[in-house]
Amino acid sequence: MLSRRRLLVLGGLTGGVALAPFVQSGDTRNAQPQHGPMHGRMHGAAHDHAGRVPAVRSGPAVTPFSVRMPVPATRIPSVQTADTDIYRMSVQPATAQILPGLSTPVLTYGGAFCGPTIRARRNRRTLITFDNKLGHETNVHLHGGRVAAVHDGYPTEVIAPGSGRAYLYPNAQPGATLWYHDHAHHLEAENVYRGLHGFYLIDDEDERRLGLPSGGYDVPIMLRDALFDDAGNLVFDPADPYNRPTLLANGKPQPYFEVAARKYRLRLLNGSTHRVFELTLDGARMTQIATDAGLLPAPVPVDRLVLSSGERADIVVDFGQAPLGGHVTLNDVAGPVLRFDVVRRAADRSRVPAQLRPMSPMPTAVQDRKLVLSLDPVNIRALINDRVFDPARVDMQVRRGTTEIWEVTNSDTNVGGSGFGVPHNFHTHLSHFLLLSRDGKPPLPGEGGWKDTVLIQPGETVRLQVDIGSHLGRYVYHCHMLEHSALGMMGQMEIVN
Ligand SMILES: [Cu+2]
């Protein structure tokens, strides 16, 4: 097998860092910064990195479970009208205490690393004005939201520095764990990496009646990775997204979280721009109750949860299964992520009903499409159907209110002749989908609900039935490994009557 160093040399021969952004391996020294389209437009982000990226990349070591995991604060609306919650939030640089004893410059919503949580109610509107105080462009996408095109955070519809923009979210969709994040074209990977991400939860009366754990026992947890230098600065190297060894839960490295000996609903989000989390729980069982777009038809016991960038899974864990004073650890394949410390008893009248949400039958699909995701290491581009994203080009016209079958293939089994495959994933704006099969085989039970993001392994084909939705206009779909969408692995559909 080719070593990482060898690949970087190959990359050098084929034009700059060609292979470096794309191939996962261990040794990361001598990685060159990338001079792709991203960097032509980075001006004034907290750190750019002209010149060579520092060779030492591990940052200060943190003892696992030595810091407490916070729960992101829920934002209170500044105004509430009869049908709308109104917020105003700045998008601003700030300093966060992520690693013990060090300050980290970050980009934030409202000054908070992870961002404040917005709690919306189904069929009650949310209006948020974001004021861009960053010094460079940004915009906001509600990931998983079914919103009008003008409010979707189209990649080229950005908020200029010093300006504000209001986004209207109708919340006319079932309860779900959504999130909001930057989507400015070419900048999204770095902006999200540096902290422009937050939870957006839709509460739903139908869901409340089920009696699932709620209130303080309903905890959003954003998992992500990061690379720090020795001074505690975040290092963003799009040429090497796999070298981000520090695992964060709600913005803290491998923290602990004190829980009561009862059931909790944990809303897990992979807020990384690239990493795939493969999660197991040591000491208690996981019951998955929801995926990206809300509740599954029925709860599913899971031993292992795979979440690619942007995916969500809500699980119920009964910490009463552990002894008082005991621990339950959430692990990734790369190491422990978060330890739950069972510290007290508590009453528990919550339950997990055998049926959660009936799946309504979908209308027969009216169209079949094939999409192929691939990297172009020679030209440092990322493609869908051999084309790089062009906001002036409509890649498909689709009909409002219909469903379609999309077969999406990751053709990257051997990037640039390296012998290495690269995973991708696929995210649709506006439209939610059902995963019908992976390489012709049925999906895992936890993938059986409405989704908006799906992992596609090298060489794999996923078959999706896409519910286009009821809005008109242009929406993008893309690989949610944001270093790839920033290089063009994105297309757009136009929804017509
Ligand atoms: Cu990708």
How far apart, in whole angstroms, are the C-alpha atoms of residue 186 and residue 238?
A: 11
Q: Check residue 59 and give its pLDDT.
A: 67
Rounded mean pLDDT of the chain? 89
Q: Kindly state the DSSP code that residue 82 receives in the 8-state scheme.
A: S
* Contact between residue 375 and residue 9 where contact means Cβ atoms under 8 Å apart: no
Q: How far is CA 391 from CA 184, 270, 388, 395, 484, in A?
A: 12, 27, 10, 10, 16
pLDDT band at 120 (very low <50, low <70, confident <90, very high): very high
pLDDT higher than threshold 60 for residue 34: no
- Round to whole Å and give the CA distance between 126 and 147: 11
Q: Are the C-beta atoms of 31 and 17 separated by less than 8 Å? A: yes
- Give pTM, 2 decimals: 0.90
* DSSP code string of 137-167: -B--EEET----GGGS--TT--BPTT-EEEE
The answer on pLDDT for 50 being more than 70 is no
State mean pLDDT over 189-199: 98
Question: Which amino acid is present at 12?
Answer: G
Tokens encoding 423: 């995973």
Whether the pLDDT of residue 345 is over 80: the answer is yes
The DSSP bridge pattern shows strands 453-456 and 424-428 to be antiparallel
Where are the domain boundaries for CATH 2.60.40.420 in the chain? 1-54+359-497, 79-207, 215-344
Distance 163 CA to ligand 1 centre (A): 31
Residue 172 pLDDT exceeds 70: yes
The 10 Å Cβ neighbour count of residue 121 is 15
pLDDT, position 17: 36
DSSP H or E segment with residue 6: helix 4-13
Residues near 488 by beta carbon (within 8 Å), at least 6 away in sequence: 37, 381, 382, 383, 388, 389
Mapped onto helix, strand or coil, the DSSP state of residue 421 is coil
Q: How far is ligand 1, taken at its centre, from the CA of residue 423, in Å?
A: 6
Q: Concatenated DSSP letters for 424-446?
A: EEEEESS-EEEEEEETTBPPPGG
Distance in Å, CA 482 to ligand 1 centroid: 7
**Which superfamily, per CATH, for 79-207?**
Cupredoxins -  blue copper proteins (2.60.40.420)
Q: Please give the Cα distance from 73 to 24 (Å, whole number).
A: 35
pLDDT classification of 494: cutoffs 50, 70, 90: very high
Give distance in angstroms: CA of 369 to centre of ligand 1. Answer: 19
Higher pLDDT, 60 or 275: 275
Q: Is domain 215-344 annotated with CATH 2.60.40.420?
A: yes
From the CA of 372, how far away is ligand 1's center (Å)? 11
Rounded to an integer, what distance in angstroms lies between the CA atom of residue 85 and that of residue 101? 38
Distance 410 CA to ligand 1 centre (A): 8
Q: Please tell me the class of the 1-54+359-497 domain.
A: mainly beta
pLDDT band at residue 55, thresholds of 50, 70 and 90?
A: very low
In this prediction, residue 48 carries a pLDDT of 30
Please determine, for residue 36, whether its predicted confidence score (pLDDT) is greater than 70.
no
Q: Please compute the mean of the pLDDT values over residues 126-131 and round it to a whole number.
A: 98
User: What pLDDT, on a 0 to 100 scale, did the predictor assign at position 4?
Assistant: 40
